Structure 1
Amino acid sequence: MDLLGENGGPVRIAGRELGRDELLGWASAVAAEIRGADSVAVHATATPETVAAVVGGVLAGVPVVPVPPDSGPAERAHILGDSGASLLLAAGGAERADGEPPLVPVDALPRNGGERSGADADATAMILYTSGTTGAPKGVLISRGAIAAGLDALAGAWAWTPEDVLVHGLPLFHVHGLILGVLGALRVGSPLIHTGRPKPEAYAAAAQDDGGSLFFGVPTVWSRTAGDPSAARALGGARLLVSGSAPLPVPVFERLSELTGHRPVERYGMTETLITVSARADGDRRPGYVGTPLPGVETRLRGEDGAPVPHDGETPGELHVRAPLLFKGYLNRPDATAASFTEDGWFRTGDIATIGPDGWHRIVGRASTDLIKSGGYRIGAGEIENALLAHPAVREAAVVGTPHDDLGEQVTAFVVADGVEEKQLIDFVAGSLSVHKRPRVVHLVDALPRNAMGKVVKTRLTAP
């Protein structure tokens, strides 16, 4: 099946522009170079070479393994070794360590090919490596059919058409930046402007100078945009602002809405599922909620004992998903693949959520770090983080459960703030939420540890 649309606009990355015909010609030359390989790795910098390499893999029907350019030697060696990639695609001059696959200099290839792929829908298109917070990163096998189904569902949900101009500056080695932000534009046929880095001023310039209509960002991007009123106001002429990869704090949602005139669209997904739940372009958008399932997606909640959890909008449970856009499994990890599914075939996301009677989903957080069991209560960290962020002195907040002799776990907050004390923040939360949800301890810190997508890495939070 063909993942790419028949027509489309240009792709511009960090100021370098490729027309569609030039891109496909270049990618066809890549495809001729790699055809027959079991898989190929791509040094996934934010450059046209990365796009040509990825599209070349799509045309050749060869699985693509994006390698984060900032990965350390151990992580890079693991990805290249575990994936079995036989070639490494990169711009000429890229460094190659001893023992790595042979380097194919993408920028040295011609731009006059004309191949199209006929690979089956079940064929693996991407091998994306998870963050590895609970061990070595696992290779997630994503089929061509799953990508097509996911992108088509999002195009419908967001009314995404060739008339849009997509703008983002996200990394090109994750679902958000690469599959949605590059393959999505190529499949829909909309022009793509990648800003190199997701800076508010770059987004503003793309809106004002290039007619940007559809903007992708993670919460960190939107938080910085909301903190730059002139840049935010420049997005007033856009059609849709989309936030994902982590929950958008309610205060950021509200401030962004005030400045831009747009209520952001939030969506939910993960590497193994692509995007499964989203607000709609023509529907309601609620701060703190990620919307309703996309067509073809089923969701449910289960308790720790496996029993159904009511969809009452209040009771949290682990979110399970069943959909045609799920991953094929973990590469070389049959036991991990089997453990990630229930006996009746639902994927265990590991995320805790609530579902309302109207089907609206709210993500509480990860079961491993964001569900706090304190004094017999089950408390979602996200609700407390939003309460803290509502304080005018608080810039960032992360909440976890830490051991407590009496309660089992206590609510502990790590906060980046100016001119406020621990007790003031504890009392502030207790004034807006149930008393048992207030933080018992607040650590005032200079910054929160984050990964490349702007997500807080809670396993790296330590008391100062």
Structure 2
Amino acid sequence: MTEAQADPDGPGAQRPALRFGDRSLTYGELAATASPLAARVAEAGRIAVWATPTLETAVAVVAALLAGVPAVPLNPKSGESELGHIVSDSAPTLVLAAPGTQLPPALAALERVDIDVRGTGASSPATGAPATVGPSGLTPETPALVVYTSGTTGPPKGAVIPRRAVATTLDALADAWQWTGDDVLVHGLPLFHVHGLILGILGPLRRGGSVRHLGRFETAGVTRELSEGATMLFGVPTMYHRIAETLPDDPALAKALARARLLVSGSAALPVHDHERIAEATGRRVIERYGMTETLMNTSVRADGEPRAGTVGVPLPGVELRLTEEDGTTAVEAYDGETVGEIQVRGPNLFTEYLNRPEATAAAFTEDGWFRTGDMAVRDPDGYVRIVGRKATDLIKSGGYKIGAGEIENALLEHPGVREAAVTGEPDADLGERIVAWIVPADPQSPPSVDELADHVARRLAPHKRPRVVHHIDALPRNDMGKIMKRALTHD
């Protein structure tokens, strides 16, 4: 928000800022709502935000930024174990939530603050100068958010994201996407991770534009909003797959997408087949970008560049990117579209540390300050980056989520009917990958069913982490060191 927009009586006050369904706020109303909340939480230390896809979540995060206190977005679908770990690790003093929301027992010890959102037409209750800069002592390194990773190799880690990472990423995307205050963004992404919250909510606000959140993704909502003046769409491959499936029988959707200035996909690779189906039906090509919690955004296909399917474009302004050999230090110099290396990045878009995890933070960086992403890629002759897989084999990308196999395995092992467990991913036309569980049952005569195990995992972690397929086997294949050899897990 600029000073003019953050001033409830300023010249930008009447511009639309946020809309969720039939509820909306202008910039003046957002300032009038967020400023008192910022004053309320200014001395709170870290604050948790119950991150439902609502106006309240957006207001809470804006208030935290105004106050200069780090916000910890909580996934409302997290299971008790995952949520308990995050709350214990981040130690917030308050939890912000929409009035009437029933919070889980893991948050019972926290003081609750209900977010009072004033709708369109509300009078401005703010007094004094608006909190556009925050309290004295803020620097670009001041933490803005603590966003928890997927827990690939253990419990989720809290990535501390400073204010400079948010600002520089959004400004770099403005350059790459020619993003201005005239743009209206529509999306239906969750607000507890980088894509939906930082790009999808804070991005439009930083530009002085507006966002229309669908609440829940539906192709009918996309049609409506793009037909009524929205210019950009953010989604994940699962969403674009459903769009591609719907297009042949929905000319209104095709017409609406054709009017969009920019269609952006991220969080996982969009299959080339879906790229082509959307382009053929609409004349518009989806562009892809590449980022992660610890780095925010690293690369993107530019709005004025070639929207080449299967690539994530070129490094964003200010971001350095290199590929390295297996030793993690020898640079891959080839731009031949074939030579694979691990992506390492450095720049002002990076996080500062994993909360309470100095060893993990140190291990994540090389001695000369490059962040090890663990993603493998090649570079085309013109510099376009194509990601070809994970350095490790335990990251599953399903429905736009990055899911760690280890935490699902741990949850499965808590089930009394499971003796041993391994988790892999396999291709799925809708989700990208579906989660597959390989189970050695405690009682081979009465093994747990897929529904029983899926419900068990969903209760402990989150519904999108539940296995979709279960194979019952006699033993897990292991090497001489006792490590499970997942590549040997096949089903005839």
Give the corresponding residue for 1:308: 331
- 1:100 is displaced (CA, Å) by 2.9
- 1:327 is displaced (CA, Å) by 0.4
Give the corresponding residue for 1:406: none
Mapped to 2, the partners of 1:335 and 1:77 lie a distance apart of 22
1:251-266 pair list within 5 angstroms: 251-266=273-288
Please, what is the CA RMSD of the aligned residues? 3.2
Mapped to 2, the partners of 1:296 and 1:241 lie a distance apart of 23
The aligned amino acid for 2:235 is: G
Mapped to 2, the partners of 1:343 and 1:459 lie a distance apart of 41
Mapped to 1, the partners of 2:270 and 2:301 lie a distance apart of 13
- 1:88 is displaced (CA, Å) by 0.2
Give the corresponding residue for 2:417: none
Cα distance per residue 1:177-204 (max 9 Å; x no partner): 1000000010001111001112111111
Cα distance per residue 1:134-154 (max 9 Å; x no partner): 210100011111110000000
Deviates more, 1:167-176 or 1:102-111: 102-111
Q: Are positions 1:356 and 2:362 aligned together?
A: no
Mapped to 2, the partners of 1:455 and 1:38 lie a distance apart of 31
Structure 1 pair 291/55, CA: closer, same or farther in 2 (3 Å)? same
Deviates more, 1:62-71 or 1:255-264: 255-264
Structure 1 pair 328/416, CA: closer, same or farther in 2 (3 Å)? closer
Give the corresponding residue for 2:140: 121
Secondary structure in 1 matching 2:344: strand
The 8 Å contact of residues 80 and 100 in structure 1, kept in 2 or not, is answered as no
1:274-285 pair list within 5 angstroms: 274-285=296-307
Mapped to 1, the partners of 2:148 and 2:245 lie a distance apart of 32
Structure 1 pair 271/165, CA: closer, same or farther in 2 (3 Å)? same
Give the corresponding residue for 1:226: 244
Structure 1 pair 260/455, CA: closer, same or farther in 2 (3 Å)? farther
Mapped to 1, the partners of 2:226 and 2:47 lie a distance apart of 35
1:231-380 pair list within 5 angstroms: 231-306=253-328, 307-309=330-332, 310-369=334-393
Structure 1 pair 413/145, CA: closer, same or farther in 2 (3 Å)? closer
Mapped to 1, the partners of 2:4 and 2:46 lie a distance apart of 20
1:73-222 pair list within 5 angstroms: 73-96=80-103, 97=105, 99-107=108-116, 112-113=125-126, 114-118=130-134, 119-208=138-227, 210-222=228-240
Secondary structure in 2 matching 1:285: coil
The aligned amino acid for 2:238 is: T
Mapped to 2, the partners of 1:265 and 1:178 lie a distance apart of 19
Secondary structure in 1 matching 2:16: coil
Q: Are positions 1:69 and 2:87 aligned together?
A: no
Structure 1 pair 163/42, CA: closer, same or farther in 2 (3 Å)? same
- 1:235 is displaced (CA, Å) by 1.1
Taking CA–CA contacts closer than 8 Å with sequence separation of 6 or more, which of the two structures ends up with the larger relative contact order?
2
Cα distance per residue 1:229-262 (max 9 Å; x no partner): 1223421111110000111111011111111211
Give the corresponding residue for 2:63: 56
The 8 Å contact of residues 5 and 186 in structure 1, kept in 2 or not, is answered as no
The aligned amino acid for 2:114 is: P
The 8 Å contact of residues 3 and 148 in structure 1, kept in 2 or not, is answered as no
- 1:73 is displaced (CA, Å) by 1.2
Cα distance per residue 1:87-121 (max 9 Å; x no partner): 00001222242643111011378962232233321
Mapped to 2, the partners of 1:338 and 1:249 lie a distance apart of 35
- 1:4 is displaced (CA, Å) by 9.9
Mapped to 1, the partners of 2:229 and 2:68 lie a distance apart of 34
Q: 5+ unaligned residues in a row in structure 1: which ranges? A: 372-380, 383-399, 401-411, 419-444
Mapped to 2, the partners of 1:56 and 1:4 lie a distance apart of 17
TM-score, structure 1 as length reference = 0.79
Structure 1 pair 313/186, CA: closer, same or farther in 2 (3 Å)? same
Q: 5+ unaligned residues in a row in structure 2: which ranges? A: 7-11, 398-404, 406-423, 431-449, 472-489
The 8 Å contact of residues 319 and 348 in structure 1, kept in 2 or not, is answered as yes
- 1:23 is displaced (CA, Å) by 1.0
Mapped to 2, the partners of 1:303 and 1:159 lie a distance apart of 34
Mapped to 2, the partners of 1:320 and 1:460 lie a distance apart of 34
Cα distance per residue 1:340-385 (max 9 Å; x no partner): 00111100001111112321100112111289xxxxxxxxx99xxx
The aligned amino acid for 2:276 is: E
Structure 1 pair 415/185, CA: closer, same or farther in 2 (3 Å)? closer
Structure 1 pair 289/91, CA: closer, same or farther in 2 (3 Å)? same
Give the corresponding residue for 1:37: 44
- 1:228 is displaced (CA, Å) by 0.9
Instruction: Give the % identical residues.
Output: 51
Cα distance per residue 1:257-283 (max 9 Å; x no partner): 111211111100001001110001111
The aligned amino acid for 1:227 is: E
